[in-house]
Structure 1
Amino acid sequence: MDSTRNTSLEAWMAEHAYSSNSLASELNSALEALTGKPGRYDGRTVREWKAGRVTWPNSVTREALKVVTGLDPTTLGFVPRGKSPAAPSPRVPPEDEVNRRRFCSAATAAAASAAPLIAARPTVGTSDVLRARAGLAKLTTIDQARGGHAALERAALRGARATLELQRGSATQRIRQRLFSVAAEYTSMAAWSSLDARHLDRAQEHLNEALRLAGMAQDATAAMRVWNSTAMLAHHRNEYGEAVAAAQAAQATAITRRDPMFASLGHARAAVAHATRGDRNAARRSLSQAQDALAKAQLEPRPGWIAFYGPAELEALAAIVHDQLNAPAEAERASHRALAILPTRYRRNRAMATARLALAQVHQREIEQACATSADAFALMAGTPLPGRLRVVLGDFHRQLVTTAPRATAAREWADRYRSEWSTA
């Protein structure tokens, strides 16, 4: 007999990332919860349904389907007997009315006793993952414009909690891993916001949690993000050996072997760590490796968090490396190159690069030029508080200014005008 495929069931399975075998496994668990006896469904059973060879499963199966999907069987494309021709199930014998009533009574009682479990397990699928991930782009845009702050941290943590709440639903292992991955990204965003705001202890707590979530997600990209931020955190804590180790951990993640863009970022972070330890050869070698890897990177879809990285950011990191290695002229040139190509939407990043340029200039005793350049950093962030990391760089600039030219008029005017702005917590 010809059969019509059950496209509704196929669509539901695709939406929720179920294979025939994984759906059969979920149905077996549901049947055991309902009746106390394990089910015997397998992938062949589900394929029979999808092919339309079984159009109305027996009452046991229909109840199990309701538990797993949260939907009535008719919504899943099954057709009650008598409404259209249907081939009998090759795996389930016909039931007599007495047996059907007995099962329905038993299933109803079992369902009532298991009601909290069933009610707490709505199905979760790809669309839920996509909705959970959608909020990350908005938070990334806020960070690019304003930098890290408490409200951004709280919003990221709310996103992580909401994503983890979805784990209470019924889902495939693949969907669960994707949810853990999204939660790891939200938590990494909270960590980054805390780091940028110089709330270093909170940043460490969030990074610990993000690494745990990335591990459960088996997501090398999420893990790489955590190690990248860990290297930065160690740098800000003056734990330079740990910064090198974290950068090397970032380089060891699987994503760096597959994508030169991530490899370049790992090498660049290592270059900064080596430079702060005074290891000139290792720093320059890592910087060269970062440049070589970036040259091989192709345009392809990547997570939104790494959108900041590219030629401009590499030049900005190179400026830090050169400045740490007492090569201020090279640092100045790298900062100019970074600002020439850094998109205007990266307002905080432009302000950081500008402050670094001013620092390189003061290291060359270009006092008036340095003061004028640093003023641009304040102008770029006008209307919003300065992120903590930017305040630190401007604080370094002020100390160098006072040390290098304590009597210079430009230095005194700079301090009179900007001290309250960069020193405000």
Structure 2
Amino acid sequence: MASSTVPSSQPDRPPRPNLVFRQLRGPRSPAEFAASVRRAAREIGERVSCDARYVHRVEAGEIRCPNYAYERVFLHMFPGRTLTDLGFAPRSSVRGRRRRDDGDTPPAPVGAPALVTGESGGAPEPYDPYDTHHDYEESDVLRRAFMTGGGATVAAASLGPLALAPDASAAQRAVRRPGASDAGALEEAVRRIRVLDDRHGADGLYRRASAPLRAAYALLDAGATRQRTADRLYAGAGELAISVGWLAHDSGRFDDARSHYAEALATARVTGDLGLEAHAFCNTAFLARDAGRPREAVRAAQAAQRAARPLGSPRLMSLLALREAGGWAGLTDRAGCEQALARAQAYFDRGTAPADPEWMTFYGEAELEGLEAQCWSALGDWPRAARHARRAAELQDPHFTRNIALYTAELADDLARGGHPDEAAAAGMRVLDLLPEVQSSRVRTILAGTARVLLPHRRAAGVSAFLDRHASLPRPV
């Protein structure tokens, strides 16, 4: 991420030094502190080009409020603090546009000076021109996707089936403060993405879902007038970040997924939303397991359980215990895995509760069986894994087409590795029948692994037909 060359206007009065930030730097030199900022950014999947010059500018008061990327990094470095605790001005007072009684005007185009009105309403002051492209991009998406004139209508248009691109017809509409209709549109966008993912998988959705996510965070920046609306917007933006992260995860874009989950976690921490925090850690654990970082999976799942414990949802605790079990299985710790699986079953048996999160509609007996199957597969117990995978596929609600394909693909793989090539080929054929409807890199990856295992068994019943049909699949774009 390169430094911006956009010039800033010169304020009529000198900037106020950020003494708090200078104190937080301590005895470290600006260059040393900048290096620690870059390390912290990598920890949460962010990319910032912090150097000594940037640190000097912050401490001199030239940057009264950092952009979103730096905000996430600073809040990660100094947990429990807000931007104002770090010596920055509230974002609402230094946004890259003038504020009016009836809302905000759009920001200046890229290449124009970045101006904001001073605290006393006087001359404009510079707003972090050090990499401001991110903010302009968000504001542009906001104008196109979640604008005045019926936020719910615009969101519905932008999130139609398999067509998640923003509504270009809203591009020129004036910006206003978001209200309850915008919060509702955001919540509906999250639901619609989940429904489409359940039916079709992630590959066809991910890129088109990213623009609504940027728009959601721009809504937060626009600032709701009512606290209840602001809370809904924050929760909705966090859940949307997780949903888009999952689309990246399921389509094999692990780095993107990690960044989106970190975004959701930062949002949860800023607002103190334990439900959102538990959800973000839940998905982080799942991603870590799939990415080959089982110890991180265990720790993230345990963090999720700490956040979720006060929420009163046994089903949520059951799912989080399964996430932990997956991490222990990846570490080949059978005892740890079995203990977590036992907790998951015990919590599940308590049944549903009013506190169960809306996003957990996918979690039923089929998912319980499917996740347990994955644990036994990771431990190399193929017969046990196949038994649970078969039951998962049989129990799954037909609405969740992607999950049926996933469980059946896992069944095929377990059968192949367990020495049952004919049964594996039959299960693989059932997955191939579903692929025209399901676009999931994860399912395709499992199926490709099964095909490699079955190659030496081409003469077994049905195996040759499966391998030939699998080989004829079109390459994903």
TM-score w.r.t. structure 1 length?
0.67
Which of the pair has more CA radius of gyration? 1
2:391 corresponds to 1:337: yes
| Structure 2 segments unaligned to the other structure (5+ residues) | 1-92, 94-99, 104-120, 125-147, 149-173
Matches within 5 A, 1:306-317: 306-317=360-371
What letter corresponds to residue 219 of structure 2 in structure 1? E
Among 327, 340, 361, the alignment partner of 2:381 is 327
Matches within 5 A, 1:402-421: 402=455, 405=457, 408=460, 410-421=462-473
Q: Which residue of 1 aligns with 2:423?
A: 369
Cα distance in 2, alignment partners of residues 165 and 412 from structure 1: 54
2:443 corresponds to 1:390: yes
SS of corresponding position for 1:253: helix
Q: Which residue of 1 aligns with 2:156?
A: none
Q: Which residue of 2 aligns with 1:229?
A: 283
Among 252, 273, 280, the alignment partner of 2:334 is 280
Among 179, 193, 201, the alignment partner of 1:147 is 201
What letter corresponds to residue 205 of structure 1 in structure 2? S
Cα distance change of structure 1 residues 155 and 423 upon mapping to structure 2, 3 Å threshold:
closer
Cα offset for 1:421?
Answer: 2.4
Cα distance in 2, alignment partners of residues 420 and 235 from structure 1: 30
TM-score w.r.t. structure 2 length?
0.60
Matches within 5 A, 1:102-113: none
Cα distance in 2, alignment partners of residues 325 and 170 from structure 1: 50
2:453 corresponds to 1:400: yes
Cα offset for 1:356?
Answer: 1.0
Cα distance in 1, alignment partners of residues 451 and 474 from structure 2: 9
Cα offset for 1:152?
Answer: 3.7
Cα offset for 1:202?
Answer: 1.2
What letter corresponds to residue 469 of structure 2 in structure 1? R
| Structure 1 segments unaligned to the other structure (5+ residues) | 1-32, 34-65, 70-112
| Range with greater deviation from structure 2 (355-364 or 311-320) | 355-364
2:241 corresponds to 1:187: yes
Cα offset for 1:270?
Answer: 0.8
Deviation by residue 1:64-110 (Cα, 9 ceiling, x = unmatched): xx9599xxxxxxxxxxxxxxxxxxxxxxxxxxxxxxxxxxxxxxxxx
Among 356, 359, 362, the alignment partner of 2:413 is 359
2:184 corresponds to 1:130: yes
The structure where helix makes up a greater share of residues is 1
Q: Which residue of 2 aligns with 1:378?
A: 432
2:219 corresponds to 1:165: yes
2:347 corresponds to 1:296: no
Cα distance change of structure 1 residues 236 and 383 upon mapping to structure 2, 3 Å threshold:
same
Deviation by residue 1:325-355 (Cα, 9 ceiling, x = unmatched): 2222222221222122210010010000001
What count of residue pairs does the alignment treat as equivalent?
Answer: 314
Cα offset for 1:375?
Answer: 0.8
Which contiguous aligned blocks of 4+ residues in structure 1 show a shift greater than 6 angstroms? none
Cα offset for 1:419?
Answer: 2.3
| Range with greater deviation from structure 2 (132-141 or 302-311) | 302-311
Cα distance in 1, alignment partners of residues 175 and 315 from structure 2: 40
| Range with greater deviation from structure 2 (142-151 or 394-403) | 394-403
